[in-house]
Amino acid sequence: MSQSSLYPIAASAPAAPLHAMAGHFFTVFASGEMFGIPVDSIQTVFQMEAVTPVPLGPQEILGLVNLRGKIVTAVSLRRRLQLPDSNPGDKTLAVGIEHKGESFALVVDEVGDVIILDAPTQIPLPPHLQPQRARLTTAVYRLEQSILPILDMNAIFDFLRRG
């Protein structure tokens, strides 16, 4: 595997705990849809150059990638959300996330801005949200012209539980 291009995340003030229903969130995109990830969950943003497939692994795992000399598991956000795969040849971005002591690359289509969301903009989970999406969403916020689901990092990686 070749070394990936890295874009380290500058240290910032920690986001408010997610249960406080306010904080700083990175926006990421998958299949044209925008999602939020708590800033304190993300270690780095990088472009993947090579992925080594993992035979017989769960369909959500794209393979293994080299992140600063460390081999990490690449998990497709599209597949976790049951969205269609991207076109071959599209540039592959990932956000580096540590979850329960392991490092992962969460593969996304695009990374947007960091936004600050206040508790009054939180809305209840929409009743029409697909069950898989609802299970992977910890909160939803109202934006000016859309809504922003906040991804639950524990739920995103729960399919990897052993035992």
Quick check: is 44 in a domain? Answer: yes
Alpha carbons 99 and 117: distance in angstroms, whole number: 23
* Predicted local confidence at residue 21, as pLDDT: 57
The range of the structural domain enclosing residue 81 comes to 22-117
Quick check: is 127 in a domain? Answer: no
Quick check: is 70 in a domain? Answer: yes
How many structural domains comprise the chain? 1
Where residue 48 sits, what CATH number does that domain have?
2.40.50.180
Quick check: is 4 in a domain? Answer: no
Quick check: is 28 in a domain? Answer: yes
Pick the closest to residue 100 from 136, 57, 154, 152 (CA basis). 154
Please count the CA atoms within 13 angstroms of the CA of 81 that sit on its side-chain side.
26
Give pTM, 2 decimals: 0.82
Quick check: is 75 in a domain? Answer: yes
Neighbours of 62 (CB within 10 A): 23
Q: What is the pLDDT along the chain (163 residues), one digit of tens a residue?
A: 444 444 344 433 333 333 445 789 999 999 999 999 999 999 999 998 889 998 988 999 999 999 989 999 999 999 999 998 877 666 789 999 999 889 999 999 999 999 999 989 999 988 888 888 999 999 999 999 999 999 999 999 988 765 4
